[in-house]
Structure 1
Amino acid sequence: MSRTAIIAGQGALAPAVAAMLDDPVIAALDGFAPPLPHQSFRLERLVPFFDWLSEQGVERVTFAGAVRRPRLDPEAFDPRTASLVPRILGAMQSGDDAALREVIALFEEWGFTVVGTPEIAPDLVPAAGMLCGEPTAGDISDADCAARIVAGLGGLDIGQGAVVAQGLCLAVETLPGTAAMLDFVARHRDMRPRPNGPRGVFWKAPKPDQDRRIDLPSLGPDTVDEAARAGLAGIAWQAGGVILLDREQAVERARAAGVFLWAR
């Protein structure tokens, strides 16, 4: 029987995806344990890990959750994985998109089909619509501006989010991630030129040319709380391109905080 393996990272996404599958194989990179039982593996022994997946009857692989680039131990490579050292090291030294494409290529070369979250759990990726609240004309303009910024940064492989208020970019998402960006905005709330003007919008979207089978941006209830603490009017994202975790809780918190949620 064909099985699907979840290469799980930290956070709530891997458990949410696992709940959508019958008898998934769950594995995680050593040092980045997800909050559910799993088999650990190391990049230095990637080929034996591929063998193990095949022994479990795995034909499809999906990636779910946050993982940082691991430190590699040159002495830990097994003889078969050693032949991949140039590719693995090259990927680790590349931008996020290039690194993830190389990871996908390696899995596919060993006969696995790599699938994205929208294919396995489409309910986690909202289609276009207003989930909560209503943006003002100023909010819509700020969302438009933030979307252009994120699209422009995509070619530089920097991040998947930006915050704009009153037409001014307050922050862009970089390596520290969404929470760090929104914390920065919260600590610099006085940067808005008009205290009573539009409060700002957080925009999230995949990079224009990224492979959407891996590293799809995600939001959840904690993101709503962080946006509220930053004093923002709402969160907008590219419909069909962003994962929304625990939708009911996210909407409930957004309503309580007066924050709109918009898949556009």
Structure 2
Amino acid sequence: MSRIALIAGEGLLAPAIAAALDEPLVYALHNLNPQVPAQPFRLERLVPFLDELTDQGVTQVVFAGAIRRPRIEPDLFDQRTMAIVPRILMGMQSGDDAALRAVLDVFEEAGLSVLSVDQVLPDLVPGEGVLAGEPSARDKKDAERAAQIVQGMGPLDVGQGAVVAQGLCLAIEALPGTQAMLEFAALHSGLKPDPNGPKGVLYKAPKPGQDRRIDLPTIGPDTVRQAAAAGLGGIAWEAGSVILLEREAAIDAANAAGLFLWARP
């Protein structure tokens, strides 16, 4: 019997995916605290872990949730995993996307097919349209500018988001994440040329060329509340490419705060 394994990260995505699957086997890196019961595994023993999945009839794997890089313990490597370490370390040195792609390659070489989140739960990735509020023409220009910035950061594998207000970039996403970016933008909101002009837009999109089976950008009610606290006018993202968690709660939060939510074509 074919089974699906869920590799759970932190946050609300893993529980949502687990609930959509039929009795998945759930695992998580040992340094993570996922919000779903999971058996831990270590990167240093990746090949034996893949053997375990195969032995249990697993043919498909889905990654869901935020993953923090574990601290590597060299003494724990088995001989077969040691043979693939150079590939993984090279990926880690190149950036998050390269590191994740290297891990995906290893899973697929073991005969495991990697599913994307939208293959499991298509409704989590909204198509084009306005979900709350209504972006103005100037908001749309700010979203366009932010999209250009995120696309420009792509080859550097830095982040998946930017905050733009009145044509000016107030913050970009880096390793500390979205909340840190929004807090930084809030601290510098006084740089907007017109205090009465557009409040600004948070924009999120995958990196150009990113493998979309893993690490898609994610927003949810918390993101909406953080954007409101930063004094922004709304959130825009690349339609069909960003995970929206707790859609109804996010829309309600946006309406309550007077923010727009726009899946941008």
TM-score interval (norm. to shorter): over 0.9
- Correspondence for 1:160: 160
Count of aligned pairs = 264
What is the CA–CA distance in structure 2 between the aligned matches of 1:93 and 1:70, rounded to whole Å?
14
Per-residue Cα deviation, 1:43-87 (whole angstroms, up to 9, x for no partner): 111111011111221110111111111111111101221212212
CA contact (8 A) 1:9 1:66 kept: yes
Deviates more, 1:219-228 or 1:33-42: 33-42
What is the CA–CA distance in structure 2 between the aligned matches of 1:127 and 1:51, rounded to whole Å?
38
- Correspondence for 1:193: 193
- Correspondence for 1:234: 234
What percentage of aligned pairs have identical amino acids?
A: 64
Q: Which amino acid aligns with 1:242?
A: V
Superposition deviation, residue 89 in structure 1: 2.1
TM-score, normalisation: structure 2: 0.98
Per-residue Cα deviation, 1:127-160 (whole angstroms, up to 9, x for no partner): 1111000011110110111011111111111110
Structure 1 vs Structure 2 CA RMSD: 0.9
Deviates more, 1:188-197 or 1:83-92: 83-92
Q: Which amino acid aligns with 1:127?
A: G
CA contact (8 A) 1:160 1:206 kept: yes
What is the CA–CA distance in structure 1 between the aligned matches of 2:235 and 2:220, rounded to whole Å?
11
What is the CA–CA distance in structure 2 between the aligned matches of 1:91 and 1:187, rounded to whole Å?
34
What is the CA–CA distance in structure 2 between the aligned matches of 1:202 and 1:89, rounded to whole Å?
32
SS in 2 for 1:59: strand
- Correspondence for 2:222: 222
What 5-or-longer segments of structure 2 have no aligned partner?
none
- Correspondence for 1:82: 82
- Correspondence for 1:112: 112
Residues 171-182 of structure 1 mapped to structure 2, 5 A cutoff: 171-182=171-182
Q: Which amino acid aligns with 1:209?
A: G
What is the CA–CA distance in structure 1 between the aligned matches of 2:222 and 2:132, rounded to whole Å?
16
- Correspondence for 1:170: 170
What is the CA–CA distance in structure 2 between the aligned matches of 1:163 and 1:201, rounded to whole Å?
6
What is the CA–CA distance in structure 2 between the aligned matches of 1:51 and 1:82, rounded to whole Å?
15
What is the CA–CA distance in structure 2 between the aligned matches of 1:218 and 1:89, rounded to whole Å?
26
TM-score, normalisation: structure 1: 0.98
What is the CA–CA distance in structure 2 between the aligned matches of 1:82 and 1:227, rounded to whole Å?
44
CA contact (8 A) 1:216 1:243 kept: yes
What is the CA–CA distance in structure 1 between the aligned matches of 2:79 and 2:103, rounded to whole Å?
19
What 5-or-longer segments of structure 1 have no aligned partner?
none
What is the CA–CA distance in structure 2 between the aligned matches of 1:49 and 1:215, rounded to whole Å?
21
Give every structure 1 segment of 4 or more consecutive aligned residues whose post-TM-superposition deviation is greater than 4 Å.
Answer: none
Q: Does residue 9 of structure 1 match 2:26?
A: no
What is the CA–CA distance in structure 2 between the aligned matches of 1:83 and 1:165, rounded to whole Å?
49
